[in-house]
Structure 1
Amino acid sequence: MSNPRTLKDWFIALRPWSFSTSAIPVIATLAFVCFASHHDIDLGSSASAPDYANGFLSLLMIMLLHGGGNLVSDYYDHVRRVDLPGCPNGVHWISSGVFRPREILVYGLLLLAIGAAVGVLILFRSDIEVLWIGVLAVALPLGYPWLKAHALGDVDILLCFAVLPALGTCFVMTGVYYLPVIFLSLPYGLLTVSILHANNTRDRANDRRAGLLTLPLILGWQASRRLYVAYLVVPYLLVLFVMGFYFGHSATILCLLLVLLTLPVAVRNIRAMMTAEAEDEQDIGVLDQMSAQLQLVFGLSYSLGFALASFV
């Protein structure tokens, strides 16, 4: 090691800028459960009063699992020679020598273990019935490198950062599986998947060299661009459906209005993708970051809308 590591180095290795993708599903579900409890929405005959402590423990757990999953993924990308010096994704803490590969792996596994311990605490506070979600929440980050290499990364991300945390958070807060929260998770979940898709579309050449088979490599440039646009347009259509037809509660118009305020960010991202040249990956070099910005502002607006509607 040429330089001693600082706390900042250890923190940056977690890729903390990506944590909004794991936090939003829990925050949005917390806001929805609050909304449902204030407006007597029937979550099920056996639903209990919301346990907000379990909700916040779920937020801590998923962020620990996310950080650990990032590190394990970085380790395996290094081993498979995906992240070489100068690779476009900016992950360089192993290739630059700041960390040894094994340190990153142990760091990631430690965070996954701590996250699992928090999950056990949540189980004691709720019900063993939700254990299967916790098992998947640990297994899917560990399996992400293989799934990404076989064009299944989008499915993994949608499950990890939308469907499972929404379903699990709602259960540990209320004691019931309220299946409509799966549908409610899709708007921000698809935007989260758009981050990965933008990343994989940019990294086509690098992933091809590494022997990976990501979705953009299968679809090709034009179809990948259209899929990215769909990932951004469909969430707004889903919100319109949810707000206009599902709950039928006038207070939810707040959620719709706040979400619509984020449309200019979506239009900016769509324009960036559709005007990019296939030969020049730098045209979309920061589109994954731009997609993360959209996911954050959309997710916070979506959550704030439910939170405000709770008191209208």
Structure 2
Amino acid sequence: MIRMWIDACRPKTLVAALVPVVMGTLVFWIYGDKLHLGAQQDYLFTFFSCLGFALAAQILSNFSNDLGDSLRGADNHNRVGPKRAVANGLISARAMKMAMGVVIALACLAGWKLGISHPILFIPATLALILAMGYTLGPLPLAYHGLGDVFVVACFGLQATALTVYALYLEVGTTVTCEMPWTPAFIAGLGVGLLANNILIANNTRDRETDVASAKKTLVVRWGRTFAKLHYSFNLFVGIFCLNIVFGPLPLVIMPLALWQMAGFWKAQTAQEFVPFLARAAVLMLLMALLCVTATCLGWIPVKF
């Protein structure tokens, strides 16, 4: 029972929630709190509040995706990859809806104190939860209209990173002299979002045949696997370049791994051959975050903003 709920959370994708919060915290530390005098407890509280909310939003998106694809027939016996809980009868649709309600409550709990202290945060937070549910549910499911990639870059890249920076600015800015570093926040957010988008591209490239059958018009369905491979390569290069601008040269260390992943993605042809690339894209994101943390701790940051 516990195992199937863990699988439904799709642990590999949770990296896409962790990394933007880490990056946002680093951006504020480098470019916002220039004297590095912020109270430690303010940083920790805000970081964990943002992280809790981001993880809940990602899990909500995964649960919604599991339920929505099952209801629309996208997840069936022809699908390659991990079994989906609702489609395979492991979790009932009613139980999944209840779980989504619990996750929304946990997201509200994680961000409640920040929201009470700074009500403006309720607006982007509410929008994030609505979009997470609207990924495959509702009258205009984003994933079924080729908008899934925009959703990932915007919500799990730009918004998650910049919102973490802004939350830190609102919370810590009352205790130290600091400024809101919008430019590095959005550049870093774009880089994170593009790398996170490769998780989705790998998933959609693998599922192309079943998505065609269920009228799920992802970008891969609309424009084919060659486009997906170009898109994947573009995201790698531009994403790494964006983070290089914000965090200096150390992120470029990951380039050999990125080139290896890109070569493998171009070589893959069958759905089964695309299966490993979801995990590989997540690992690359995690390693990139570790490189940026290292660069920050060592002070190897060219402050340009």
In the superposition, the TM-score normalised over structure 1's length comes to 0.84
1:67-94: per-residue Cα shift (whole Å, max 9, x none)? 1221121011111111113512313322
User: What does residue 176 of structure 2 align with?
Assistant: none
Distance in structure 2 (CA, Å) of the matches to 1:189 and 1:300: 16
The alpha-carbon deviation at position 13 of structure 1 amounts to 1.9
User: What does residue 120 of structure 2 align with?
Assistant: 129
1:9-68: per-residue Cα shift (whole Å, max 9, x none)? 322221122111101111111122222356449xxxxxx878311222111111112112
Structure 1 segments, 4+ long, off by >6 Å, are: none
1:134-161: per-residue Cα shift (whole Å, max 9, x none)? 1111111011111010000001111221
1:105-159: per-residue Cα shift (whole Å, max 9, x none)? 211221022202322321123x112221111111110111110100000011112
Aligned partner of residue 135 in structure 2, secondary structure:
helix
User: What does residue 167 of structure 2 align with?
Assistant: 172
Distance in structure 1 (CA, Å) of the matches to 2:160 and 2:200: 18
| Residues 285-296 of structure 1: pairs in structure 2 closer than 5 A | 285-296=275-286
User: What does residue 272 of structure 2 align with?
Assistant: 282
Distance in structure 2 (CA, Å) of the matches to 1:17 and 1:113: 23
User: What does residue 264 of structure 1 align with?
Assistant: 256
Distance in structure 1 (CA, Å) of the matches to 2:219 and 2:200: 10
Aligned partner of residue 87 in structure 1, secondary structure:
coil
| Residues 164-203 of structure 1: pairs in structure 2 closer than 5 A | 164-175=159-170, 178-180=181-183, 181-203=185-207
Equivalent pair of 2:159/2:189 in contact (CA under 8 Å): no
Most deviating of 11-20 and 93-102: 93-102
1:269-296: per-residue Cα shift (whole Å, max 9, x none)? 111121223xx22222222221122122
| Residues 22-37 of structure 1: pairs in structure 2 closer than 5 A | 22-36=17-31
Distance in structure 2 (CA, Å) of the matches to 1:198 and 1:80: 21
1:253-276: per-residue Cα shift (whole Å, max 9, x none)? 4xx22x222222211211112122
Q: Gaps spanning 5+ residues in structure 1: where?
A: 42-47, 244-251
1:72 to 43, 58, 64: 64
The CA RMSD over aligned residues, in Å, is 2.4
Distance in structure 2 (CA, Å) of the matches to 1:310 and 1:174: 23
Paired residue type of 2:164: T
User: What does residue 147 of structure 2 align with?
Assistant: 152
1:268/1:119 CA distance change after superposition, 3 Å:
same
Aligned partner of residue 85 in structure 2, secondary structure:
coil
User: What does residue 57 of structure 1 align with?
Assistant: 49
Distance in structure 1 (CA, Å) of the matches to 2:228 and 2:300: 39
In the superposition, the TM-score normalised over structure 2's length comes to 0.86
User: What does residue 246 of structure 1 align with?
Assistant: none
Most deviating of 145-154 and 159-168: 159-168
1:223/1:310 CA distance change after superposition, 3 Å:
closer
1:284/1:305 CA distance change after superposition, 3 Å:
same
User: What does residue 249 of structure 1 align with?
Assistant: none
Aligned partner of residue 97 in structure 1, secondary structure:
coil
Distance in structure 2 (CA, Å) of the matches to 1:89 and 1:309: 42
2:292 to 295, 302, 305: 302
1:113 to 101, 105, 117: 105
Paired residue type of 2:150: V
Aligned partner of residue 136 in structure 1, secondary structure:
helix
1:148-182: per-residue Cα shift (whole Å, max 9, x none)? 10000001111221111122111221127542101
Distance in structure 2 (CA, Å) of the matches to 1:136 and 1:308: 36
Equivalent pair of 2:146/2:218 in contact (CA under 8 Å): yes
User: What does residue 214 of structure 1 align with?
Assistant: 218
Distance in structure 2 (CA, Å) of the matches to 1:217 and 1:95: 21
Matched residues, percent identical? 23
Aligned partner of residue 19 in structure 1, secondary structure:
helix
Equivalent pair of 1:37/1:49 in contact (CA under 8 Å): no
Q: Gaps spanning 5+ residues in structure 2: where?
A: 171-178
Paired residue type of 1:30: T
1:224/1:214 CA distance change after superposition, 3 Å:
same
